[in-house]
Structure 1
Amino acid sequence: MDTSELIVPMAAARPMPPEELAMQSLTKQLYKSRLFRGHYLERCLVEQVGGYRDVVVLQRSERELEKLLHNSAGQLRMFYQRFVPNMWVGVTSGSYGSYKHTSDPGQLETCIWTELSDLAFGEYWFSIKTIRFRDQEVQLKLKMVRAVEPEPLVPPRRSLSLNRSSHNNSKAITSGDGLSPSDKVADQVQLGLNDFLAVLQQWGDGVKQTVYDFMANDVNKRNIMGTIRFLGLLIFSALGGAAMALRFLGVFAVRFLFELSRFTHTATPIVFKVLEFLNKIVGAIFILLTMIWKDLLNRGQPVPKQQQLEANTRFKSITYERSEPHRRSQRW
């Protein structure tokens, strides 16, 4: 972390209202770890801040960042008109002061005024680390990610007219064309691999920058104590909730078992009566089926003589027993 960010707020005598602190925090989060491509042109004197600042011009493809920078710069100027009327925002368009902007097809008009250390003039990939809010200056703190190598100019391909009638001429033209198709494919594969490695390196640098910004800006005593306090309250709440849940489950289980025992005691006789009733119905049905089946079996078979004699004897005995009291009454 840059020590100037710590020293300047401590030395500032002006108290910051809550809306200013909120505005600064939102602005920092808006530009945090933002990558862009720019040209480091020169170092110029800024009379409003009384010092030299490095001028970084946005590359032609950074139109979205240009629009965002101008919107934020206008809002910051309007906001600080009440607190610091002479606040200088390090974002300008075109020529400013001792800096004379020259029109270039690969550059935009937007310039970022910052402080760079030990960096040669040229085109680079930059990362916005944070935004410094000083007494009379708003400055974007940049970090150089990597230099942009100049792209080689590719000559236009010439159309080769092959004479099919002459095999020797076609050989000469083919040999003078340059690389073979296999070499061209190998060059394309190597170029794609280099681009992939460059993107991977850029992604790694972005991750490192994010981790560094997090450790530098967010890891402090206040945040650590707040995190510990939050975790303690969370654990205490979880333990209290678990105890209440166990208590509720225990009371529910005891009441459920009590009501279940009462229901079982009351419903047992009813269940037994229903089972007995069903048993009688099923038994009667089986007995009826057995009698019907036996009657069907005995209907087509002749009755044995011994059974007929027994049936007659039973009939006579029953007749005799019924008629005997009548005979005794006649005798008397």
Structure 2
Amino acid sequence: MDTTTTVSRASARMMPPEELAMQSLTKQIFKSRLFRGYYLGRCFVEQIGDYRDVIALQRSERELEKLLLTSAGQLQMFYQRFVPNMWVGISNGSMRNYKHTQHPGQLDTCIWAELNDLAFGEYWFSIRTLRFRDQEVLLKLKTVRAVEPELMATPRRSISMNRTTASNAITVAGDSLTTKSDVTDQPPALGLADFLDVLRQWGEGIKQTTYDFMANDVNKNNIMGTIRFLGLLLFSMGGGAIAALRFLGIFAVRFLFELSRLTHTLTPILFQILEFLNKIVGAFFILLTMIWKDIMNRGQPPAPKQPLEGSSRFKSITYERSDRRRWQ
């Protein structure tokens, strides 16, 4: 099933907010979960009309089994209102046309997923994400590596390994035997190949995340909602800018009006204050001048009085009192 079909089916039904929240929470629970399982084969699912690969959990995955069964029950109960025939790719035991065979190393819980061609056997799997399709909840798995079978040690060798602390490896080359002692486990050296492998895994993770985003989140409803949100955001920003300009204009006009009134009122007061300060400063300088003049005049003798100019040219005129009798 390609991406276009998935997106068209996902966009055919309007998802409520609680469904989106439930899908996001379920993805966060199972994302990047590592587990061991047995690939049992491919089986046809009548409910979706397609084939799915069946992976049985290894017996040590008890915690993951409980989590899978709990989530499967919750998803079935949730989708009874929206999609009554929703298929969740998690089963416990046999079902319809599939008969689960009990194995000592397996659990009854199985995961139904889409995988590439694999050989039967045990593998390490990683849960990438969950796909919520029109009538199916699918776990997207990634095959990490195959599990190598463990070699069974003989009783004699196990007894000797328990008794001794240092392991001796005996190698046979032709007819001669050489013994190597003091063999210690050393961590493998990291090289360029390991660094390139890490980069490749990062690239695959980014690619898968982008693919999941394009497949699950990029649809007609989300695009229209984004366009509507951007339109409302631009309209709100424009209205807010116009209201802010109007407020600033009114504030500037009123501020200038009140400033002119304040200036008109304070101008006479400022002039009177300046005149008062001018008189104080002028009187202070006049006082200093008078004090300085008085000090300078005290140290000098008084100047002699000079006769008036031109007084020596004229002689004093005296009038004598004549006797009255002389006139008689």
- 1:240 is paired with a residue of what secondary structure? helix
Indicate yes or no: 2:19 matched with 1:23.
Answer: yes
What does residue 302 of structure 2 align with? Answer: 305
Q: CA deviation at 1:95?
A: 7.3
Q: 1:87 to 1:230 in 2, by over 3 A?
A: closer
For 2:279 and 2:235, the matched residues in 1 are separated by 64
How far apart are 1:130 and its partner, in Å? 0.8
What per-residue deviation string (whole Å, max 9, x for no partner) do you get for residues 292-320 of structure 1? Answer: 5665x559x633231xx57xx9xxxxxxx
Counterpart CA distance in 2 for 1:189 and 1:118 is: 31
Query: What is aligned with 1:35?
Result: 32
1:158 aligned to 2:155? Answer: no
2:209 match: secondary structure: helix
Alignment of 1:1-332 (within 5 A): 1-2=2-3, 5=6, 22-23=18-19, 26-27=22-23, 30-31=26-27, 34-38=31-35, 39-43=37-41, 49=47, 53-58=52-57, 65-79=64-78, 89-93=88-92, 98-104=99-105, 110-121=109-120, 122-132=123-133, 134=135, 138-144=136-142, 146-147=144-145, 158=166, 187-190=188-191, 197-292=196-291, 297-298=295-296, 302-306=299-303, 309=304
TM-aligned CA deviation for residue 40 of structure 1: 4.0
**Unmatched runs of 5 consecutive residues or more in structure 2:** 152-160, 169-177, 308-328
Q: CA deviation at 1:272?
A: 0.9
Answer whether contact 2:130 2:140 (CA < 8 A) is retained.
Answer: yes
Q: Is the 8 Å Cα contact of residues 93 and 109 (structure 1) preserved in structure 2?
A: yes
- Whichever residue aligns with residue 23 of structure 1, its letter is E
Q: Specify whether residues 283 and 139 from structure 1 end up closer, same or farther in structure 2 by C-alpha distance, changes over 3 A only.
A: same
Q: Which has the higher helix share?
A: 1
Q: What is residue 174 of structure 2 aligned with on the other side? A: none
Q: Post-superposition shift, 1:289?
A: 4.5
Distance 1:291 1:40, change over 3 A: farther
Identity, in percent, stands at 51
- The aligned residue for residue 324 of structure 1 is none
Calculate the TM-score normalised by the size of structure 1: 0.62
Structure scoring higher RCO (CA < 8 A, sep ≥ 6) equals 2
Aligned partners of 2:167 and 2:181 also within 8 Å:
no
The TM-score normalised by the length of structure 2 is: 0.62
Post-superposition offset of 1:260: 1.4
Deviations 1:176-206 (A, max 9, x none): 6579x9xx68x4343xx66655444333222
Give the direction of change, closer, same or farther, for the CA distance of 1:267–1:238 in structure 2 (3 Å limit): same
Determine the structure 2 residue equivalent to 1:169: none
Which protein shows a greater Rg?
2
User: How far apart in 1 are the matches of 2:254 and 2:10?
Assistant: 65
Q: Compared with structure 1, are the counterparts of its residues 2 and 200 closer, same or farther at alpha carbon in structure 2 (3 Å cutoff)?
A: same
Counterpart CA distance in 1 for 2:271 and 2:202 is 78
Whole-Å separation in 2 of the counterparts to 1:61 and 1:196: 31
Query: Structure 1 stretches of 5 or more lacking a match?
Result: 161-171, 314-332
